[in-house]
Structure 1
Amino acid sequence: MPASLEGQLVVALSSRALFDFEEENQVFEDQDDSAYMALQLERMDQPARPGVAFPLVQKLLAFNTPERQRVAVVILSRNDPVSGLRIFKSASAAGLELERGVFTRGRPPFHYLKPLGANLFLSANEADVREALNAGFPAARVYAASLTEAEKHPLEVRIAFDGDAVLFSDEAERVFQEQGLAAFQDHEERRALHPLPPGPFLPLLEALHRLRADSAGCPMKIRTALVTARSAPAHERAIRTLMEWKVEVDEAMFLGGLEKSRFLTEFEPDFFFDDQTRHCEPASRLVPTGHVVSGVANQG
């Protein structure tokens, strides 16, 4: 019987999301792919430093046991297969049990998210992230220089989500962008009992919800947070929408326009997902951050 990823939380990510290949990438940018390949080959036995998604991957893989595989992590990379050898060697040196990788040597790799059944795609390539989101997969462009501190909360995966255009659709965000805050508040108050349409990251929240239920008794835990610029009275529709979907978040922060990064510093997530660069950029200097390149804020 062939292997199957059915029932597992599947995370696909590029090599630059998992490891710090910024120096090597600069060679690619300044010269060409041949120079990049030569450098990777030269450094074949030199383990790469952890990248922005390394702590998240490390913690998620801890949900696996010899008896039960709950999480699958797959490298999905524009790298060539030879450079892929260094990625697997670096993973082995870091104690990460990675079994699968797809290397496309420059071709967009997002097509392979479908056969993988991916619940999340992380990449430093914005075009690949956009295409993945357009295909219906939760995806984010990572800030490769984001802070990574794997030792924090070693037995707890912490993930923070923005609301509009991330967990929820950008329906309400469009009202805010086009008509302003007062119209947005009125729009949401009048529709408080009507659930918002789902956003691109609902499938990931649902997958985390299933993983939590499936791993009762496991030392690793999951903690999620909604971190949104919404405030009362617009908070009610957000809460009721999550209730309608029968998914939960552990913490909800309705900040009414306050700077998110200070609150994220206290929550200490392994990853934070937001659709707006004005939130992502300051957050990325403090916590691992992914830009969800979708919704009205990312058009044009």
Structure 2
Amino acid sequence: MPATLDGQLVIAISSRALFDFEAENELFEARDDHAYMALQRERLDVPAKPGVAFSLVQKLLAFNSGGAPRVEVVVLSRNDPISGMRVFRSAQHYGLAIQRGVFTRGAQPWRYLRPLNAQLFLSANEDDVRAALNAGVAAARVFPLSAHASAEHPHELRIAFDGDAVLFSDEAEQVFQREGLDAFQAHETARVLTPLPAGPFKPMLQALQQLQRSPGEQMRVRTALVTARSAPAHERAIRTLMDWQIEVDEAMFLGGLAKGEFLREFEPDFFFDDQAGHIASAAVHVPAGHVAGGVTNR
């Protein structure tokens, strides 16, 4: 009987999101993949340094200790198979139980998300992220030069989400972009009892809630909603989460304030937002990923 990943939270991640391959990537971006492969071959026995999403992956895999596996991490990469050897060796060096990978040597890897039944895809390649979002998979472009996660919470997985176009659809954001703040507030007040449509990251938050309800022996989950909304538009967001029967531990309704310093205090292992300006503010302080979908990214 073939193996199955049914019932597990499946995370697909590129090599550059998991490990620091920026020096090697300079050769890859130059389209000299033979030189890139030769360099990776030379460094097979040199563990790559942790990348921006390393802490996220390490903590997610910790939920598998002491019982049936609940999280599967698969490397899904434009790298070649030789470079894949170094990825697996680096994972083994750090004690990351990663056993599956797909390496496409420059071809689009996102098409393998469907057979993997992945709920999240993290990549440094914006085209792959956009393609994944269009295919209905939660995805974010990782910024390899983002700050790395704090080491202050070794037994707590912390993830922060923006609201509109991330957890929720971009329905309300379209009103804001088209008609401005006053129209946005009026729109949300008039629809306060109508749940917002789901955004691409709702299934991810639901999966985290399941981990939160039955935590592993070594790891807990703490989530935060970090949004530019303010009162009175905050209420529709909260009521939507209530309708979904999803809880978040913290909610920040910032009314347009820069998010970076608030995220610095929350100290997430990762933050997801659809607006490049918010990511720029956040990446100085925490690992951040750009959800390249919705009206602000068209």
**Normalized against structure 2, the TM-score is what?**
0.98
TM-aligned CA deviation for residue 67 of structure 1? 2.9
Say whether the 8 Å CA contact 1:74–1:101 is kept in structure 2. yes
Say whether the 8 Å CA contact 1:25–1:36 is kept in structure 2. yes
Say whether the 8 Å CA contact 2:121–2:132 is kept in structure 1. yes
SS in structure 2 opposite 1:141? strand
Residues 1:278 and 2:274 aligned together: no
Residues 1:159 and 2:163 aligned together: no
Instruction: Give the CA RMSD over aligned residues.
Output: 1.0
Say whether the 8 Å CA contact 1:229–1:257 is kept in structure 2. yes
Which residue number in structure 2 is paired with residue 208 of structure 1?
A: 208
Greater Cα shift, 31-40 or 151-160? 31-40
Deviations 1:46-85 (A, max 9, x none): 1100000000111111111253111110000011111100
Say whether the 8 Å CA contact 1:242–1:248 is kept in structure 2. yes
SS in structure 2 opposite 1:45? coil
C-alpha separation in 2, matches of 1:194 and 1:218 = 38
Deviations 1:247-298 (A, max 9, x none): 1111110011111111101000000000000000121111000000000000
Which residue number in structure 1 is paired with residue 238 of structure 2?
A: 239
C-alpha separation in 1, matches of 2:268 and 2:214 = 22
Which residue number in structure 2 is paired with residue 100 of structure 1?
A: 100
Say whether the 8 Å CA contact 2:150–2:268 is kept in structure 1. no
Which residue number in structure 2 is paired with residue 225 of structure 1?
A: 224
Which residue number in structure 2 is paired with residue 176 of structure 1?
A: 176
C-alpha separation in 2, matches of 1:140 and 1:29 = 20
Residues 1:186 and 2:186 aligned together: yes
TM-aligned CA deviation for residue 148 of structure 1? 1.3
SS in structure 1 opposite 2:141? strand
TM-aligned CA deviation for residue 107 of structure 1? 1.0
Which residue number in structure 1 is paired with residue 17 of structure 2?
A: 17
SS in structure 1 opposite 2:226? strand
C-alpha separation in 2, matches of 1:250 and 1:69 = 25
Greater Cα shift, 284-293 or 145-154? 145-154
TM-aligned CA deviation for residue 214 of structure 1? 3.3
In structure 2, stretches of 5+ residues that fail to align are none
C-alpha separation in 2, matches of 1:187 and 1:280 = 26
Deviations 1:109-156 (A, max 9, x none): 111111111111000000000000000001000010111135220000
Deviations 1:164-216 (A, max 9, x none): 0000000000100010000000000000000000001101001111122233x
Which residue number in structure 2 is paired with residue 297 of structure 1?
A: 296
C-alpha separation in 2, matches of 1:208 and 1:176 = 29
In structure 1, stretches of 5+ residues that fail to align are none
Say whether the 8 Å CA contact 1:9–1:211 is kept in structure 2. no
C-alpha separation in 2, matches of 1:219 and 1:36 = 38
Deviations 1:224-248 (A, max 9, x none): 0000000000001000101111111
SS in structure 2 opposite 1:128? helix
TM-aligned CA deviation for residue 31 of structure 1? 5.0
C-alpha separation in 2, matches of 1:43 and 1:259 = 40
SS in structure 1 opposite 2:169? coil
C-alpha separation in 2, matches of 1:218 and 1:233 = 40
Say whether the 8 Å CA contact 2:150–2:267 is kept in structure 1. no
C-alpha separation in 1, matches of 2:146 and 2:135 = 26
C-alpha separation in 1, matches of 2:198 and 2:30 = 41
Which residue number in structure 1 is paired with residue 251 of structure 2?
A: 252
C-alpha separation in 2, matches of 1:108 and 1:248 = 35
Say whether the 8 Å CA contact 1:163–1:228 is kept in structure 2. yes
Q: Which residue type is aligned with residue 269 of structure 1? A: P
Which residue number in structure 2 is paired with residue 82 of structure 1?
A: 82
Q: Which residue type is aligned with residue 163 of structure 2? A: G
Q: Which runs of 4+ in 1 moved over 3 A?
A: none
TM-aligned CA deviation for residue 162 of structure 1? 0.2
C-alpha separation in 2, matches of 1:193 and 1:98 = 44
SS in structure 1 opposite 2:152? coil
SS in structure 2 opposite 1:232? coil
**Normalized against structure 1, the TM-score is what?**
0.97
C-alpha separation in 2, matches of 1:232 and 1:286 = 26
Residues 1:71 and 2:71 aligned together: yes
Q: Which residue type is aligned with residue 265 of structure 2? A: E
SS in structure 1 opposite 2:246? coil
